[in-house]
Structure 1
Amino acid sequence: MSGDGTFLTDFATLSGFGATERGGVHREAASEADEAQWIWFGRWLADRGFTVRHDRVGNQFGLLERTPGARYLLVGSHLDSQPRGGRWDGAYGVLAAAHAVHRLGRETHALNLAVVNWFNEEGSRFTPSMFGSAVFTGGLDLAEALDTRDAAGVRVGDRLAAMGRTGTDAPALADVAAYAEIHVEQGRVLENAGTTIGLVEATWAARKYGLRVVGEQSHTGSTVMADRRDALLGAARLVVLARELSDELSAPEAPLHTSVSRMVVEPNSPVTVAREVSMNLDLRSPDEALLAHADAVLHERVPEIERSARVGVEIAGSHGWGVQPFSPAGVQLAREVADELGLSHRRIMTVAGHDSVNLNGHVPTVMLFVPSVDGISHNEGEHTTDADACAGLDLLTGVLRRLAAGGIAGS
């Protein structure tokens, strides 16, 4: 389809914001690089006839209203990245959404069209992840979100105000009739199968925990080993436990993915035994029963770690979601468009969370994947081929055309 060259040129420009020397991007939410791309994208939208709006938590919208009074078909993803992350994750979905809607902009549909750049999807600077879409759908309180602070004490509300990234005249959930998102897979299923398009039929279930391991500060040299209450030792055993849960409980038909990330050690001195460690731990599986069992085993084994390491372990907070099917009608609609375009496709589940997970259940939602080379993600080596990226754009355009005409019942 014509215009793919323009899309790739625009994507190269977008990838320059926060670019790293190894081909990735470092563009955490509300950073200077994120602010620069936000300004660029707002101008891109305005130059093409979109009305640019922001809501109170910094979500950025580009509106094309051709049918006064009609609700919106909302489509997008996020432009923030992980630290030294990949340039495709999220950003591809936002720019593909903008180009697809621009292609349809001269047409009149039952629904109006809107592109969204969700604020802080990654959750690397401000937690939790999928932040802006959670506020939009009522899963996260606005006041709590605005008062969230990063590790340096920077408050979300203050930073958004300084950027001029807040408003009150953006669409609300009640104004949205349906939602669509296209994303790189972040896995190897499509590549291994030689398939161009993933039709996302459901998301894996996930449980995420904030853990606090409490010991006692002491001297690394002179403190007798038997007297030590080393919080880092307790944390290390939790890391091992997380991997053991996956090794012990996973099955081919019901895998369990486990991870520990973002560890903060206090006082983090070279000659001091750690008094406290804060860390994140998450469990994910397509089988909710297995996930519940893994959660139970985790809690059963924590007391032994407390005894053996002479520490206390607190679960400071947790959140998660269950297995969530996406609209079967949406999957079928996308399959029909892929067939019309001659694009190979398969049904697939998403392991990662996306903003679509928050929208799903509130409005009919379509989630689409294009392949990731070698399954690499959250890494500067993340890559999707130009051919697959352009095929996804063509597919998204066709899907949006049908959705905007009321292609899913209830939209």
Structure 2
Amino acid sequence: MTTAVIQDTDQFLADFHDTWQFGATARNGVDRQAGTAEHGRIRDWFKQRAEEEGFEVRVDSIGNVFALLTFIPDADFVLTGSHLDSQPLGGRFDGCFGVIAAFHAAIELKRRVEAGEVIPQYNVAVVDWFNEEGARFAPSIMGSSVMCGFFDRDEMLAVKDLGGTTVREALESIGYLGEDEAPVPASYAEIHIEQGRLLERHAIAIGAVTQSWYTQKLNVKVLGEQSHTGATIMKDRHDALPAASLLVLKTEEVVEEFEEEQIVTSVGQFNVEPNSPIVVPREVNLVIDLRGHRREDVEKARQILVDYCEEVARARDITIEAVDFDIRDHQRYPDDGVVLTEKAAANTGVSCMRIETMAGHDSVPLNRKVPTVMIFVPSEGGVSHCEREFTADEDLVQGLIVHTDIVSRLITGDLDHLKA
């Protein structure tokens, strides 16, 4: 295996920090939700940079962008990448680092292949998956799930945001509703910031991801009756908002029934109708997100919350509907891929620990189709989906070097024995 050296880490850092201009916010974050003008602009930038470096760029029919280097005609591709869309007022490292690191890993591998240092069995494709975040269009992890056959493309193209714009319309507006065939994957590798603080807590440089947490969401609709805030006496009201507020508090409180740091819960989306200052709300729609190390913990928390919905509805003479959606079982990454990460870290001379991912990533659906490797670099304070999200340049570069080693091993067939 070649030594762990990257020829131009300065250009990697320059490219990565250059991406901040697209959707930059006043507090050092970014806001470039899927299919917005800002998202289109960073994709244009990525496409231009890829073509400058000799990549062929393809866009498929759900808006995934692929930058291809073909070493062996008719061979399959090692895919590597992440996503360039963000949360509203999100951080500039989440997803974007994974795409730019994958891009520069591919540039370095092109140099090694041309120099005869690496003899590839596969080609390499850098991918920017569409709508990983799911902030504007639900569900999240959309583009990779469509490519892997887990979501129907036409159904996803018809999904609407809160303003009524469809995915198809959004992609057309930024010029990324493509017609190209996606490359056939042989394997997949993704690098990402941890979005937690275990690596920082243990002073470890690289996390070798072993599995994802069990995830389940509840789409909750609280139905009351609209009335005048000034003219309706309290006992005659059927106010949806206080009932919904009780559900928010219960969602936070339910974690107290479980072992510490084994389950997380939240209400991240909350919409009130008609949202007028002089109208008692008739309807509230909210999404409850439950994730845990153990499936049984998530299922127990879900049942507690569903039962509580029924209790609140009876007590307040309103209707509450709780519907399951976006249920994702544990995905265990191949043990040999974890070992491969540990070897790459050792080859680079940095520390490594095994770690689980609490968050979802595009590697989760890919892991169900092809041998997949997922690695983390530290996040300062564990902060993510927030403007003050931060990872030091040194950690980014170390991650790039390890990731390049991993992709180098994949294009030479190191995980071929795992194929069905």
Cα displacement (A) at 1:382 = 0.3
Q: Are 1:18 and 2:23 matched, yes or no?
A: yes
Q: Are 1:235 and 2:244 matched, yes or no?
A: yes
Q: Does the Cα contact within 8 Å between 1:73 and 1:177 map onto a contact in 2? A: yes
| Structure 1 residue corresponding to 2:80, chosen from 71, 75, 89 | 75
Measure, in 2, the Cα distance between the counterparts of 1:100 and 1:193. 27
2:276 corresponds to: 269
Measure, in 2, the Cα distance between the counterparts of 1:124 and 1:87. 15
Q: Does the Cα contact within 8 Å between 1:257 and 1:285 map onto a contact in 2? A: yes
Cα displacement (A) at 1:223 = 1.5
Measure, in 2, the Cα distance between the counterparts of 1:68 and 1:179. 19
Match for 1:217: what amino acid? Q
Measure, in 2, the Cα distance between the counterparts of 1:317 and 1:345. 37
2:328 corresponds to: 321
Query: Secondary structure at the residue paired with 2:21?
Result: coil
Q: Pick which of 176-185 and 293-302 moved more.
A: 293-302
Measure, in 1, the Cα distance between the counterparts of 2:16 and 2:352. 24
1:259 corresponds to: 266
Q: Pick which of 219-228 and 108-117 moved more.
A: 219-228
Listed as ranges, the gaps of 5+ residues in structure 2 are 1-5, 114-118
Instruction: Give the alignment of 1:6-405 within 5 angstroms.
Output: 6-106=11-111, 107=113, 108-171=119-182, 175-248=184-257, 250-252=258-260, 255-405=262-412
Match for 2:55: what amino acid? F
1:72-113 deviations in whole A, cap 9, x for unaligned?
Answer: 100000000000100000000000000001100141410110
1:277-315 deviations in whole A, cap 9, x for unaligned?
Answer: 111111100101111111222222211110122221112
1:202-222 deviations in whole A, cap 9, x for unaligned?
Answer: 011010121111000012222
Q: Does the Cα contact within 8 Å between 1:233 and 1:309 map onto a contact in 2? A: no
Q: Across the two proteins, how many residue pairs are aligned to each other?
A: 407
Match for 2:13: what amino acid? L
Cα displacement (A) at 1:243 = 1.1
Measure, in 1, the Cα distance between the counterparts of 2:241 and 2:307. 20
| Structure 2 residue corresponding to 1:406, chosen from 401, 406, 413 | 413
Measure, in 2, the Cα distance between the counterparts of 1:49 and 1:161. 26
Question: RMSD in angstroms over aligned alpha carbons?
Answer: 1.2
Match for 2:148: what amino acid? T
TM-score, normalised to structure 2's length? 0.95
Measure, in 1, the Cα distance between the counterparts of 2:368 and 2:170. 31
Measure, in 2, the Cα distance between the counterparts of 1:19 and 1:233. 36
Please identify runs of 4+ aligned residues in structure 1 that moved more than 6 A.
Answer: none
Query: Secondary structure at the residue paired with 1:153?
Result: coil
TM-score, normalised to structure 1's length? 0.97
Query: Secondary structure at the residue paired with 1:209?
Result: strand
Cα displacement (A) at 1:2 = 3.0
Q: Pick which of 393-402 and 143-152 moved more.
A: 143-152
Query: Secondary structure at the residue paired with 1:152?
Result: coil
Match for 2:63: what amino acid? G
Measure, in 1, the Cα distance between the counterparts of 2:74 and 2:63. 24
Query: Secondary structure at the residue paired with 2:268?
Result: strand
Match for 1:50: what amino acid? F
Measure, in 2, the Cα distance between the counterparts of 1:271 and 1:3. 60
Measure, in 2, the Cα distance between the counterparts of 1:290 and 1:156. 34
Listed as ranges, the gaps of 5+ residues in structure 1 are none
1:110-132 deviations in whole A, cap 9, x for unaligned?
Answer: 01100000011111111111111
Q: Does the Cα contact within 8 Å between 1:364 and 1:410 map onto a contact in 2? A: yes
Cα displacement (A) at 1:317 = 4.8
2:116 corresponds to: none
Cα displacement (A) at 1:21 = 1.2
2:3 corresponds to: none
Aligned residues with identical type, % of pairs: 43
Q: Does the Cα contact within 8 Å between 1:52 and 1:61 map onto a contact in 2? A: yes
1:204-263 deviations in whole A, cap 9, x for unaligned?
Answer: 101012111100001222212222111111110110111121122x203x6211100211
1:352-396 deviations in whole A, cap 9, x for unaligned?
Answer: 000111111211110000000011101100000000000000000
Cα displacement (A) at 1:146 = 0.7
